[in-house]
Amino acid sequence: MTDPAALLRDLFDAAVRAADPMVRVPAHLPPRPPGRTIVVGAGKASAAMARALETAWDGPLDGLVVTRYGHAVPTERIPVVEASHPVPDAAGEDAARRILDLARGLGPDDLMVALISGGGSALLSLPAPGLTLADKQALNRALLRSGAAIGEMNCVRKHLSAIKGGRLAAAAHPARTLTLVISDVPGDDPGVIASGPTVPDPGTAAEARAILERYGIAVPPAVAAALADPANETPKPGDPRLARAETVLIARPQASLEAAAAVARAAGITPLILGDAIEGEAREVGRTMAGIALQVRRHGQPVPAPCVLLSGGETTVTVRGQGGRGGRNTEFLLGFALAVDGAPGVFALAADTDGIDGSEDNAGAFCDPGSLARIRAADVDPSALLAANDSWGAFAASGGLVTTGPTLTNVNDFRAILVLP
C-alpha cells in the first residue's frame, strides 16, 4: 500500500495537472481574424493562460492580463501585471481601466480573447461611477467575512463595477469576443466566474440589495445610491452588444476530480466522487464528510474500504474569531478531524487547486489518525482554534500543512478522504 500522505498528494497533483493552461488553452484557439487580436484577462491562472496562448499563436498580439501577486509568469507579447486578491487594490483598478480602454478601441474585424479564471473578480476591480476603490475594498471585506456564497458575492460586485457582468464584452462591440474560462465555481456558470466580465447577467441590482440585507451588511450612502441607479444595471441576455461574444469552458472541477479518480484506481483504491459543486459552511461540510467516512469504516457503505471519497466546490467561512489564520480548506479539515476523532484508517487532504488557501502561503492541509493528538501535544486546543477560525494554527502544530506554491491554475477546492480497511 502506498503511503497515505503520498497517495493523497498524488491525487491532488493529478487534479491540478488536468487544469494546466499549457494543455487546455491551445486546443481552443480560433483562426486569426482579418484585423487585430488583443488578449485580456484576469484571474489566478490568467498569466499562465497568456503564456500558453503565445506559444500557439503565430500572429501579432497585444493586450494586458492581471493576476494575483506571486502568480505572474514570463511572457513575450502580452503584458502581465499583478494585483491584490481577495481584497482589491489600486494596481487592479488601474489594470481594469487599461483593459477596458483596450476593448473600446476595437472594430468589427478585430478579435478580443478574454482569459478568465478564478480570482478575477477582485483583480479586475473598476468601481462604478460615483464609487471609490475604498468603497469596494470595505464591501469586499464585509462580504468575505459574512459567509455569503460566491454567487451572491459576485452578484453584488457586478452591480458596483464598470467592467464586470458583461460590460467588458459590451465595450468591445462590434469586435468578436472569445472568452476562455477555467472554472472555479460550483456549477461552472461563466457568469459567476470572475463576475462574468464578458457574459450577460440575468441578475439585478434589486437582488444585490437583498443579498446585502440578508447578511446584515451595512453600506455607505455612495454604495446604496449606486445600487439604486438604473444606469448601473448590467447587460442582460439578448443585449445586441454581446451578440458576437462566445464563451468556452476549457477546464472544470469535475474533470480534475475524474483525473484524481483515475490515479486512485491505478493504485488499487476505489474512488467515489461525491460532487464537484459542494457548498456550505466549511466546518459543517467537514463534519458531514466525516460522517460519510465513518459510515465506510463501520458499515462498508456507500463503498467498501479501501476507497477514496473525492469532492470539489467552494465552501465558505463565517469569521467569528479575531485574528485567526487559515482558509476554508484548513477549516473544513479541522472540522473533519474533530468529527472523525482519530478513527484508525482515515486520512484526508483538503487544498485549493490554486495553491493558496486563504491568506497564508499553504494550499491546504493533511490529517491522519494522529493529527489531533499531535495538536494537543503542542499544548493547543483544536476545538478552541476552530472557534477562533485559526485552522492554520492547528495544522501548523500537527505538521500537516500542505505547501505547493502557486499552481498557476484554479479549479477550486479539492478534497480527498482515504479510508483503509
Return the number of other C-beta atoms located less than 10 Å from residue 193's C-beta.
28
The matching CATH number, chosen from 3.50.50.60, 1.10.3720.10, 3.40.1480.10, 3.90.10.10, for 4-14+254-419 is: 3.40.1480.10
Model pTM? 0.89
Distance CA 153, CA 147 (A): 10
Return the number of other C-beta atoms located less than 10 Å from residue 108's C-beta.
12
Distance CA 157, CA 246 (A): 22
For CATH 3.40.1480.10, list the domain ranges present in the chain: 4-14+254-419
Positions in the chain whose pLDDT score sits under 70: 1, 321, 323
Contact 226, 232 (CB under 8 A): yes
Residue 103: name the closest of 137, 62, 148, 159 by CA: 62
Return the number of other C-beta atoms located less than 10 Å from residue 23's C-beta.
14
For CATH 3.40.50.10180, list the domain ranges present in the chain: 21-251
Please list, in sequence order, all residues whose beta carbon lies within 8 angstroms of the beta carbon of residue 299, skipping any fewer than 6 positions away. Answer: none
Q: What pLDDT shows up at residue 1?
A: 56
Give the type of residue at 418.
L
What topology is assigned to 21-251 in CATH?
Rossmann fold (3.40.50)
Q: What pLDDT shows up at residue 283?
A: 97
Task: Please calculate the CA angle 330-335-337 and round it to the nearest 5 degrees.
Answer: 90
Q: What pLDDT shows up at residue 140?
A: 84
Contact 73, 407 (CB under 8 A): no
What is the separation of C-alpha 226 from the centre of its chain, rounded to a whole number of angstroms?
Answer: 27
